[in-house]
Structure 1
Amino acid sequence: MMHMAESRQDTDLTVGDTAALVGVTVRTLHHWDEIGLATPSGRTPAGYRLYTGADLERLCRILAYRETGLSLDAIRGVLDDAATGIAATLEEQRERLAERICDLQRIDKRLARLADAHQHGILLSAEEQKATFGPDWDPQQGARARARWGDSPQWAQFAERAASRSPDDWRDLSDAMSRLEQDLGAALARGVRAGSPEANDLADRHRAIFGNFFPITRQMQVCLGRMFEDDAGFAAHYDGIRDGLATWFRQIIDEAARGDGIDPDLATWQ
């Protein structure tokens, strides 16, 4: 670019030719003229801008500093204010860029975790999952869940939360769910009736814990209760804790919904 400027030292150029030569738009040159950053030295008899070789030199310097990310005001100071320390200004800009690079690296890591969470769900290794959820846990459950619900808004919400969840966070959630399941089994063994305050409290605890994965309404919980009873895998899990627990769990969820004025027979995933 400097070579191009040097080759036109004795030639006055129109704003269009100048814009084409230095690689900016005519509108940009007009703006720089208006703010006093790069004012052309000449005018035609009709008042049109004419740029000299010296003007081209200044434009080349402006472009060089603009590539560093300096603001136009900072560039004006560098070019026009003898008291401005160019090296100090550039070092300050480097510091700002270093901070920005760190910010971008953090954003990149966050994006990578979000992408992984949308793809895999739980961002724990197979060994970490077994250590967190128990030796009977199947690490392939995440892949099966994505295949089944991967296109749903709830999977996206699950993934967004999973991306920021640490192994300790998962362990806390797993412990809370395990305690609830044991309390459910104990309540069934004691003959707690669906619709009783204790049963309703257990249903509320389930909804609160499950809400850590994605927001869950009472109607959505009813749909989950049906799945816990009808799905062979879920039914086997709950009935393994206490015989008949899958059906009783669905019943206490249904009765809690009725207490909120919802007919469980009409509940939909909303």
Structure 2
Amino acid sequence: MTDAAMDDAAGLGGLTVGAAASHLGVTVRTLHHWDRIGLVRPSARSGGGYRLYSAADLARLHRVLIYRELGLSLDDIGELLDAPAADMTVPLEHQRAQLVERISRLQAMVGAVDRMIEAARTGILLSAEEQIAIFGERWKPSLTEVARERWGDTAQWAQYAERAARMTPEDWQRVADNVRTLEQDLAAAKRAGVRPGSAVADALAERHRASMDAYFDCTLSMQVCLGRKYVADPGFSAYYDAIEPGLTVWLRDVIDAHARHRGVDPDAATWV
């Protein structure tokens, strides 16, 4: 409420419902409702007998708007407006505590959104030094930028960013440890002559697919596409074959056989 509005009300003997609504930024219907429930009733009268809002009425309306902005119900607002000044302290202190709690929640939400934005931009919320410490000397921090350029506009990248935003360095360490264990088990199975399609190979394929859940929900069809990517991409091939010669092709065959056992035709697999 502006000082000019108060002056207008005092100087003109009061404001009409329409003028008061305009000054307050509310609707005429709202003022009629507040009048009907006895929250704020216009107390002045025009020469023609029309009810007008006096300066005191407008001040009361202004308090209603403040209390409503604080989230109080109209019933609570009515009690506060008519309560002695001493009785106003307790409900207002309670409302203040609720507002502080709400601000805290909103600040936490802002922080979470900021982390999601940063994760979507960078791919991982770890410094280059932290990445190497967790994923090993062979890890190249630039790979996250390459991945973002390739898949940054996909639903899977968005899902990954949402999950990465919640992950701590300790979470990433657990992911890295699980991947290293899986790679060692894959290499050992390859050396032992485990055949794609066997029960042992199928279990390893399922562990591989489950390892993708740290990043996004990976379907059997998507896993087949990943297996093909490993073989076709020199970077992936070099990575897996450095663990165990021939591991890349063997892993692709293991993934294909597992998908076939689960009713997915590897030759018709798509990224869905």
Cα distance in structure 2, aligned partners of 1:237 and 1:253: 17
Question: What TM-score, normalized by structure 1, do the two folds share?
Answer: 0.92
Determine helix, strand or coil for the equivalent of 1:161.
Answer: helix
Cα distance in structure 2, aligned partners of 1:183 and 1:17: 79
Which of 37, 52, 63 is residue 50 of structure 1 equivalent to?
52
Report the equivalent of 1:220.
222
**Deviations for 1:18-52, whole angstroms, at most 9, x for unmatched residues?**
22334433222112112211111256799854223
Deviation at 1:112, TM superposition (A): 0.5
**Deviations for 1:99-122, whole angstroms, at most 9, x for unmatched residues?**
111111100110110101111111
For residues 220 and 23 of structure 1, do their structure 2 counterparts lie closer, same or farther at Cα, with a shift above 3 Å needed? closer
Report the equivalent of 2:142.
140
Determine helix, strand or coil for the equivalent of 2:52.
Answer: strand
Report the equivalent of 2:6.
5
CA RMSD of aligned residues (A): 2.2
Deviation at 1:219, TM superposition (A): 1.0
Cα distance in structure 1, aligned partners of 2:101 and 2:220: 46
CA contact (8 A) 2:9 2:53 kept: no
Q: How much identity, in percent, do the aligned residues show?
A: 52
Cα distance in structure 1, aligned partners of 2:81 and 2:184: 74
Say yes or no: does 1:175 pair with 2:177. yes
CA contact (8 A) 2:70 2:99 kept: no
Report the equivalent of 2:38.
36
**Deviations for 1:39-92, whole angstroms, at most 9, x for unmatched residues?**
112567998542233323322333344454544333211211338622333222
Report the equivalent of 1:90.
92
Cα distance in structure 1, aligned partners of 2:87 and 2:98: 17
- Counterpart of 1:8 in structure 2: which amino acid? A
Report the equivalent of 1:198.
200
Which of 97, 103, 106 is residue 104 of structure 1 equivalent to?
106
Cα distance in structure 1, aligned partners of 2:199 and 2:177: 23
Question: What TM-score, normalized by structure 2, do the two folds share?
Answer: 0.91
Structure 2: state its 5+ residue gaps: none
Deviation at 1:2, TM superposition (A): 4.9
Cα distance in structure 2, aligned partners of 1:114 and 1:201: 33
Say yes or no: does 1:244 pair with 2:246. yes
143-152 vs 47-56, greater mean Cα deviation: 47-56
CA contact (8 A) 2:8 2:14 kept: no
CA contact (8 A) 1:78 1:84 kept: no
**Deviations for 1:183-230, whole angstroms, at most 9, x for unmatched residues?**
111111111111111111111110111122111111111111101111
For residues 254 and 2 of structure 1, do their structure 2 counterparts lie closer, same or farther at Cα, with a shift above 3 Å needed? same
Determine helix, strand or coil for the equivalent of 1:269.
Answer: coil
95-104 vs 68-77, greater mean Cα deviation: 68-77
Cα distance in structure 2, aligned partners of 1:4 and 1:47: 21
The count of aligned residue pairs is 270
Cα distance in structure 2, aligned partners of 1:217 and 1:47: 75
Which of 18, 35, 40 is residue 16 of structure 1 equivalent to?
18
Cα distance in structure 2, aligned partners of 1:125 and 1:186: 32
- Counterpart of 2:37 in structure 1: which amino acid? I
Cα distance in structure 1, aligned partners of 2:34 and 2:193: 82
